[in-house]
Structure 1
């Protein structure tokens, strides 16, 4: 079975609990095919797909060098939204307040992966935390109602770790950090 790898910003456990608590009410009102396990919450920086060990190791070494002097920084999760059709979304996600440091770090990770030979998605970076996938409701989804149920208050945290994750399809939680890089 193929496994996938990706680099992501690690979220602290209290932020994962905060997001999970916000989605409890939404879960009962809006059925999605898959609600992510709270341990799987993260912010993807570069999706590698099925990667050869040598390429992964090269990307990891380049990223470690690129981030060697980078400081941790504050981020804020706030709000929820969707990707896909508003009435039948593909993804329900929590937002992250736009922060230049996050974009700067993501660009370093992305460039390091490209230098290591990976062909990455060229879509603009849209930082988000996936909460659920594939809406399956019989009545149309309502983002306004979901926002009222979630009452998504902003919550700040210190962004201090990047991890290389491995996907375990069919497992819950699905994502295993296989290597972690600490920001200073």
Structure 2
């Protein structure tokens, strides 16, 4: 099973951010039938650790590791703010960043990864770059349109929210990825 660990914004933040996303060129292109792969609002999250494929019999080990990490953390406040782009051409990804107590978010990610390592569970070792993926337009929009969306995202700031839980998710990749919530632990 393909797993990741994340924090999710609450519905009021999702609703507020959705009004921003609706105005983006990637959203208009989707409405016009161009597959810019705008992420479903139900899937909006900030990844703390990506485990990738994990044997089914190790799922409980992952859950216990995340629970141990959550016990060590305190709730903290963040907001969605700023925007950017990863990649170029067909690999272009639009994202919104995270502001507020980013150091606490980084600390939670480090604790989660430390506990995963203790449990001998592999994860993607890339440093945390806190963001929420908005769309994967690839090369289906020209660079000017992507840059305009990036500028719109760069000006956005959500209401703050308290991160009070960490979530273990299973992903089902594909053209329209879906996620299953396997467990959540309070901070």
**116-125 or 43-52, larger mean C-alpha shift:** 116-125
Partner of 1:6: 4
Residues 52-91 of structure 1 aligned to structure 2 (within 5 Å): 52-85=55-88, 90-91=92-93
Provide, for residues 136-159 of structure 1, a one-character-per-residue CA deviation record: whole Å limited to 9, x for no partner. Answer: 335324455214545513431111
Please give the TM-score of this superposition, normalised by the length of structure 1. 0.85
Shift of 1:135: 2.5
TM-score, length of structure 2 as denominator length: 0.84
Structure 1 residue 19 corresponds to structure 2 residue 17:
yes
Q: Distance in 1 between matches of 2:90 and 2:156?
A: 20
Contact 2:38 2:137 (C-alpha < 8 Å) held by counterparts: no
**Residue correspondences, number:** 180
Structure 2 unmatched runs, 5+: none
Distance in 1, Cα, partners of 2:72 & 2:170: 25
Native 8 Å contact 1:46 1:120 kept in 2: yes
Q: Whose helix proportion is higher, 1 or 2?
A: 2
Gaps of 5+ in 1: none
Could you tell me how far apart the structure 2 residues matched to 1:52 and 1:42 are?
23
Shift of residue 73, structure 1, vs aligned partner: 0.8
The structural deviation recorded for 1:182 is 1.4
Aligned partners of 2:16 and 2:158 also within 8 Å: no
Q: Which residue of 1 aligns with 2:107?
A: 104
| 1:174 paired residue number | 178
